[in-house]
Amino acid sequence: MIAIKRWIGSLLIVVLCLPLSGCWDYRGLNKISIVTGVAIDRQEESRRYHLTIETIDFSAAGKESAGKPQIVETEGTTIYDAVRNAKKRLAKKLYFGDIKVIVISSQIAREEGINSVLDWFLRDIELRQTATPIISQEKTAKEILTANGVDDKIISEEIEKMIDDDKKNTASTKKVASYQVFDVLQGDKETSLLLPAIHCIPNQEKKVVELNGVAVFKEDKLQGYLSPEETHYYLFGADEIAGGIITFPFAKQESRNQDNFSLEITNNKTKKSYTYDGNRIKVLFDIKTAAYLGEAGTELDDLKMDTLEKIRSTAALTLTQKIENVIKKGQLELGCDIFGVGTMIHKSDPALWYKLRDNWAYYVQTIEVEIRPELVILNTGMTK
Amino acid sequence: MLKSSVEKNKTATIVSSSLEKNIAELKHIFADDGTIGMRQITNCHNNALKYCLVQNDGLVSAAITNANIIKPLIQSKGLLEYGQQIDPLIHQVILINQVKKTNQWQEIIQSVTYGDTILFIEGEMEVLILNSKGFNTRAISEPSGERVLSGPREGFCETLMMNLSMVRRRLRNHELKIKFRSMGTRTHTQVCICYIDTIVNKHVLAELNRRLDMIDIDGVLDTNYITELIRDSRLSPFRTTGYTERPDVVAGKLLEGRIALFVDGSPVALTLPYLFIENFQSNEDYYLSFFYTSFGRFLRICGFILSIMIPALYIVIVAFDREILPTTLLVNIAKERLGVPLPAVLEAFVMLILFDVLKETGIRLPSGIGQALSIVGALVIGQAAVSAKLVAAPMIIVIAVTAVTGLLVPRMDAPIIYIRLLLLALSSAMGLLGFIAGVTIIIIHLLNLHSFGIPQFIPASSLKYQEVKDTFFRGPWWKMLNRPAALTRNKKRMSRGDKE
């Protein structure tokens, strides 16, 4: 009897686990079409969503290549409707589990906000929440997905790799996953949302895509863009930089012509702190940067300690100015709290935040900043 | 035939003092049996001393019979008197190492069929059983199922006494107890229980004897007959008793407090209690460097886990949770699956069963045909099926890995086959959920397994250093100070004069 009870008990444990999960279904790999990217536009006349879906066509692929891109276009009153409508043109079912990018047209982002567009991508179970939303600076988002990739035939994969690697190389855009968009938009909206921006440029007579800084949002509406260079210095302030170059003009002697120097950033740590005097908020940026001298103009022989010190201070000054410019642009031109000062206050002093919250748009514009760069040049690269 | 004749003469269980009557009874008992030979002799100095030797041809040594039995019986002078000759025969005449008196027909029948010579004596109420065994046995060789690279190569053969001698030579100690009993109502097979008195767990020993007493079977031809009758969890595919064909392994197990059971006629010894980890232990683990063998042990455990899980996980990933895969891999698999008519699940079942078919044919195949089989197996099924798009290439890889890892643990054959299919079925019905449910069921089952009152999973559930030193890895000998605590109360392995 006890044995039977034990059996029933353990069986119950197993069976009761089953409804705890989500859905399951058996679907063979040859019945699905793998979606890598989606571009979302608004159809001019019908005002319906126009989706450009990139899938992988592996039937055409030979032994060497992984597959060719295949484009499916579809329309619908909602995103979900449009996705379902695509099945009318396809034998296989679209599978969104491996989606890399969601390209949203700037027109939708500016006029309607991205909330309604991204909702389905966050809500549907099949989708992976790490897909990267991107703002297209072209007239339509479709142009991005139909452009040519330089080293990857599948453009969505190329875009995703470019954005992933950007942090360590050029540091000129910011990777944001779709779940992070959700976090920002569903939060207290104290911080602006930034999404990577992308545009098309000609390269060897072909149209290719290029990352072009970030798009700045107020709540879910597009306010404007930061150029790649501005984004680079924004990332310094936001403590999100892991590489890239600082360039600045420098003359070794007063009489000489100025040369352009490059410092390669190896390590950076930025600490933000704020003070509030009852009227204004003052934010202090403590920036600690370590860099190599990457390129030193024409004169190679003459890097004495004092010259190096001069290079260092010039670079630090450049850094300060550029970061200040970005902050100014954010505050005044876009009216956005791009550095997340609101979040910082909210976390450390909630009472203060609830006081400031209602007039936050005003406070954002009056924030004073002080930047204290601490730049170290680790080596000159000339020991070879 | 034999049984019925004995039953018919139930009254005649005791031998008579008349040689005539006894011979008539013998002829009755062994009617239609051409191998039983009778030889009547008379002492040449005293015609009243009549004897009859009964032997089974082919089981006895003619040289021993002639020189040590017949010759002294015929030639002895003055020592023997009619009616009082049993003791003088034993002590002064017959030159045989083992002599036994009896008056039971049943015992006579069993002895004669085991190669003994029965000496019937005119005028005596008892007969003598003389040891004259001289049958041929297989030579000692290395068991093919448990080969080693280095270490002792002796293996058991089919003769009980020879097997026991091999164990005895390794444990020269009065504490090694060897107890005989007879099993099988028709085969009267000799079964022998060995243990080391001071180390063995007395409860396990008592339990073993209790279970052996309950056995009612007509024949015992191999150890497995006993195993299946006395094991715990009879319906579990997992082993709850150990087996080996090597005397060094038996000695090692006895030293850890286990009990060994031998069956005459079988080269396989049964060892118990059996811990789960013994499935992954090999005697060679202890003969080679512990660095090397620890890795091997680890591989075997991984091999078991992989072998039961890989086909199921493949189905889970390919048909349910594709997002686990990186896109490139997903595209590659999808590319290969393109145009394959069977769904992945059916493909997996078919290929798994096909592999087991190949394996089964390979085991009992005459060695000459093996090559043809491997060509058919590898070429036709592997190469041709893929290029004909009957089976996807990733599936072949999955099956190959499953098969190879499964061969790492030959002791787990039966559980691997069943669990693999169980997990595969559950996974194909319910995806990752079914898989996890299956694994949960197996773990619950394993934790419930006992071997003669001892939980099989003991070292895994109580993590003490001395307990795990011989589980996932093989600790060096200078660290293995204790015996496995579950098996014995006498824990210290390394203490001088091992006395409690």
| Cβ <8 Å between A61 and B335 | yes
Q: Decide if A28 and B320 are in contact by the 8 Å CB cutoff.
A: no
In percent, how much of chain A has pLDDT > 70? 91
Query: Which of B339, B433, B444 comes nearest A18 by C-beta?
Result: B433
- In this prediction, residues A15-36 reach a mean pLDDT of 72
Question: pLDDT at position B227, please?
Answer: 92
Of all residues in chain B, what percent carry a pLDDT higher than 70?
94
- Chain B touched by A31 (CB under 8 Å): no
Show residues of chain B in contact with A25, CB under 8 Å: 320, 431
Mean pLDDT taken over chain B: 85
Pick from A61-65, A231-235, B134-138: least confident = A61-65
Distance from CA of B174 to the nearest CA of A (A): 43
d(CA B437, CA B435): 5
Model pLDDT, residue A255:
61
Q: State how far the Cα of A187 lies from the Cα of A357, in Å rounded to an integer.
A: 13
Q: Which long-range contacts (CB under 8 A, 24 or more apart) does B349-357 make?
A: B349/B421, B349/B424, B350/B391, B351/B391, B351/B395, B351/B396, B351/B399, B352/B311, B352/B399, B352/B402, B352/B420, B352/B421, B352/B424, B354/B381, B355/B399, B355/B402, B355/B403, B356/B417
* pLDDT band at residue B465 under the 50/70/90 scheme: low
Report the pLDDT value the prediction gives residue A53, as an integer from 0 to 100.
93
What pLDDT is stored for residue B500 in this prediction?
40
Mean of the per-residue pLDDT values for chain A? 84
Say if residue B308's pLDDT is above 90. Answer: yes
pLDDT digits (tens, 9 = 90+) for A166-196: 888 888 888 888 888 888 887 766 778 899 9
Percent of chain A with pLDDT over 90: 17
Q: What is the 3-state secondary structure (H, E, C) of chain B?
A: CHHHHHHHCCCCCECCCCHHHHHHHHHHHCCCCCCEEEEEEECCCCCCCEEEEEEECCCECHHHHHHHHHHHHHHCCCCCCCCCCHHHHHHHHCCCCCEEEECEHHHHHHHHCCCCEEEEECCCCCEEEECCECCCCCCCCCCHHHCCCCCCCCCCCCCHHHHHHHHHHHCCCCCEEEEEEEECCCCCEEEEEEEECCCCCHHHHHHHHHHHHHCCCCCCCCHHHHHHHHCCCCCCCCCCCEEECCHHHHHHHHHCCCEEEEECCCCCEEEECCCHHHHHCCHHHHCCCHHHHHHHHHHHHHHHHHHHHHHHHHHHHHHHCHHHCCHHHHHHHHHHHCCCCCCHHHHHHHHHHHHHHHHHHHHCCCHHHHHHHHHHHHHHHHHHHHHCCCCCHHHHHHHHHHHHHHCCCHHHHHHHHHHHHHHHHHHHHHCHHHHHHHHHHHHHHHHHCEECCEECCHHHHCCCHHHHCECCCECCHHHCCECCCCCCCCCECCCCCCCC
At A64, which amino acid appears? Answer: E
Contact B335 A24 (CB under 8 A): no
Assign A148 to helix, strand or coil.
strand
How distant is the Cα of B228 from the closest Cα of chain A, in angstroms?
A: 21
Q: What pLDDT digit, counting tens, does each position of B327-361 carry?
A: 888 888 888 888 788 888 888 888 888 888 888 87
Residue in A29, A36, A97 closest to B318 by CB: A29
Average pLDDT over residues B444-472: 76
Q: What's residue B5's pLDDT?
A: 46
Chain B contact set for A32 (CB, 8 A)? 322, 334
pLDDT by residue (tens digit) across B34-67? 888 888 889 888 888 889 999 988 888 888 889 8
Query: Smallest CA–CA separation between A160 and chain B, in Å?
Result: 12
Cβ–Cβ of A30/B328 closer than 8 Å? Answer: no
Q: Do A67 and B335 touch (CB under 8 A)?
A: yes
pLDDT band at B137 (very low <50, low <70, confident <90, very high): confident
Question: Confidence band (pLDDT; 50, 70, 90) for A41?
Answer: very high
pLDDT digits (tens, 9 = 90+) for A239-269: 888 888 888 888 766 666 677 888 888 888 9
pLDDT tens per residue, range A333-358: 888 888 888 888 888 888 988 888 88
- pLDDT band of residue B498 (cuts 50, 70, 90) is very low
Interchain CB distance below 8 Å, A100 and B345: no
Interface membership of A13 toward B (CB under 8 Å): yes
A-chain CB neighbours of B325 within 8 Å are 98
- In this prediction, residue B250 carries a pLDDT of 93
State pLDDT tens for residues A116-159.
Answer: 888 888 888 788 888 999 999 998 899 999 888 887 788 898 89
| Stretch B391-399: mean pLDDT | 88
Tell me the per-residue pLDDT of B166-193, one tens digit each, with 9 for 90 and over.
Answer: 999 999 988 899 999 999 888 889 999 9
Q: Do B433 and A21 touch (CB under 8 A)?
A: yes
Gap from A11 CA to chain B (nearest CA, Å): 8
pLDDT surpassing 80 at residue B370 = no
Interface of B to A at Cβ within 8 Å reads 318-320, 322-323, 325, 327-328, 330-335, 337-340, 343-345, 428, 430-433, 436-437, 440-441, 444, 448
Whether residue A17 and residue B337 make contact (CB cut-off 8 A), yes or no, is no
| A91 shares contact with chain B (CB less than 8 Å) | no
Alpha helices, DSSP H, located in chain A: 2-17, 79-85, 106-111, 115-123, 142-146, 155-166, 178-186, 228-237, 305-328, 341-348, 350-356, 360-366
Nearest by CB: B323 against A14, A97, A100:
A97
**pTM of full prediction above 0.90:** no
